[in-house]
Amino acid sequence: MSQVPNKHKNSAWQATVCDCGRRGFLRSAVAGSMLFPALVRQLLAEDGRDKLGHEPHFPTRAKQVIFLFMTGGVSHVDTFDPKPALTRDHGREIKADHPEIKDRPGYEKIFLKRPQWDFAPHGDCGTQVSTLFPHVADCVDDLALIRSMHTSHSNHYNATLGMHTGSFAFSRPSIGSWLSYGLGSLNRNLPDFVVIAPHQTYAGTQVYASDFLPGPHQGTLVVPGAEPIANVAPRVPRSRQEHELAALEETNEAHAAQHEFDPLLTARLKSFETAFGMQMAVPDAFDLSREDDATMSSYGLARGQTTGFGWQCLVSRRLVERGVRFVELIDTGSSNNWDAHGDMLTHEPLARNVDQPIAALLKDLKQRGMLDETLVVWTTEFGRTPFNNSADAKGREHHPWAFSSWLAGAGVKRGITYGETDEHGMRAVVDPVHVHDFHATILRLMGFDHERLTYRHAGRDYRLTDVHGRVVQGVLA
């Protein structure tokens, strides 16, 4: 089987992947016809190859990812992890020396807090979901629900950074950037990695940065609204634009000859190619007028609407339909999110905002036959405490020891639950899945061995899972 060698071990791989944008931008219509023709010939002559993307380590059905990130920490015990004992023991004091509590300042007395929504079984599989997610509950026969997630930090910034990059303290490439780096492009006129968010989430642009990976693998931010990607429409006639681009030819060609393997130059040239292609591809991808009334209604959208999570979900389907490798949807950003310290009832409007659109996305992908090649990931950065410091507290605090996430689509076992927390939802006790394991599993579903998809930087081989991670075989079909 084809393998992705380490960058430092194979110069051909270095030329192909680390500088993959160089051939990509040069082979577009504009580059091939007028921009840098001498450089085109030089680069194509390097190894005689002319292809999109790269071979993964394993054969796989999954080609693209839609990553749904719920900012702020969704309560597992109120959504996807039913705990009858928590209801039974509501108000019971937990001793201050409890191993889960004793290191938390300000928690001299701790009281268990029951779920505020009822759970019921759904689908043929009987998976229990709370009334917060009635539409997603209808899709449980297509989900692999992981109830034993845990993470390494209780702060939003660090946990969000960890869920996206595998690093809880330092900037590292995003999972979307890793998959763009590993798989390459399916459509040269659109970015490989797109993030659709009304506001930045915790850790800001670091959640979609390429960091030390080549610049073309950074995520492109789309902000819902009348102009989701700014300055895409040409401001000058095409003939003038072509003259302007042609005027850059000699300068760029001379500069490239002096800096043949300059990654910054590679990124700049790739950005020119992608930007030119986006002028044609973006208006089409974001034109929802072509969607029928039934589809618009299923996502909860009105004609002409350009905001809302339904809009984000429908656009994500249109983007993967057109070859974007990795699309992340961030629901609210760092304000007005799932961080329910004061009152758990704030989960209700947040769930209502995303529930119907997520279910519509799953059903739409399935109906179009796209779920067989698309991996859908739903997660948050951590859970929320099954307790609080008073018996009548309305909210819940940050909880890194247990939370829920789910997978659906290509290569995923359907209609299952994996792992368990203890009777109060305090800690993952059966088949615990760390964030590193979650990442390793996503990479495996996309055809990669997480230990072999590496990039040499600052004298060592880096990977998404650092020195950790194990594939959760129990969720693989």
How far apart are alpha carbons 144 and 155 in whole angstroms?
Answer: 27
- Beta strands at 64-70 and 326-330: parallel, antiparallel or unpaired: parallel
41-55, 102-116, 195-209: lowest mean pLDDT where? 41-55
- pLDDT band of residue 248 (cuts 50, 70, 90) is confident
Say how many CA atoms lie within 13 Å of 454 toward its Cβ. 18
Say how many CA atoms lie within 13 Å of 207 toward its Cβ. 31
Residue 139 pLDDT > 90, yes or no? yes
Give the residue from 102, 97, 17 showing the smallest Cα distance to 51.
Answer: 17
Residue 6 pLDDT > 50, yes or no? no
Residue owning tokens 């992981």:
146
Residue 428: what pLDDT? 97
The structure tokens listed for 26 are: 């040069």
209-213, 276-280, 440-444: lowest mean pLDDT where? 276-280
Distances (CA, A) of 116 to 83, 86, 158, 210, 404: 11, 11, 28, 40, 17
pTM for this model (two decimals): 0.85
SS (H, E, C) the chain: CCCCCCHHHCHHHHHHHHCHHHHHHHCCHHHHHCCCHHHHHHHHHHHCCCCCCCCCCCCCCCCEEEEEEECCCCCHHHCCCCCHHHHHCCCCEECCCCCCCCCCCCCCCEEECCCCCCEEEECCCCEEEECCCHHHHCCHHHEEEEEEEECCCCCHHHHHHHHHHCCCCCCCCCHHHHHHHHHCCCCCCCCCEEEECCCCCCCHHHHHCCCCCCHHHCCEEECCCCCCCCCCCCCCCHHHHHHHHHHCHHHHHHHHHHCCCCHHHHHHHHHHHHHHHHHHHHHHHCCHHHCCHHHHHHCCCCCCCCCCHHHHHHHHHHHHHCCCCEEEEECCCCCCCCCCCCCHHHHHHHHHHHHHHHHHHHHHHHHCCCCCCEEEEEEECCEECCEECCCCCCCCCEECCCEEEEEEECCECCCEEECEECCCCCCEEECCEEHHHHHHHHHHHCCCCCCCCCEEECCEEECCCCCCCCCCHHHEC
Residue owning tokens 């007395």:
109
CB distance 260 to 14 below 8 Å: no
At the topology level of CATH, where does 53-229+286-475 sit?
Alkaline Phosphatase, subunit A (3.40.720)
Q: For 305-310, what is the mean pLDDT?
A: 97
Q: For 25-47, what is the mean pLDDT?
A: 36
- Beta strands at 193-196 and 220-222: parallel, antiparallel or unpaired: parallel
Residues 310, 280, 278, CA angle at the centre, nearest 5°?
70
Q: For 374-394, what is the mean pLDDT?
A: 95
Sheet containing strand 387-388, edge to edge, reads 93-94, 110-112, 387-388
Give residues with Cβ within 8 angstroms of 19, minimum separation 6.
214, 261, 263, 266
How far apart are alpha carbons 21 and 30 in whole angstroms?
Answer: 15
Residues 372, 288, 64, CA angle at the centre, nearest 5°?
25
Residue owning tokens 């839609």:
66
Residue owning tokens 């800001």:
204
Residue 334: what pLDDT? 76
Q: Where along the chain do its domains lie? A: 1-51+236-280, 53-229+286-475
Q: For 7-20, what is the mean pLDDT?
A: 34
pLDDT tens digit sequence for 397-419: 999 999 999 999 999 999 999 99
Residue 217 pLDDT > 70, yes or no? yes
pLDDT tens digit sequence for 318-377: 999 999 999 999 999 777 899 999 999 999 999 999 999 999 999 999 999 999 999 999
- pLDDT band of residue 98 (cuts 50, 70, 90) is low
Distance of CA 45 to the CA centre of its chain: 36
The structure tokens listed for 312 are: 């984000």
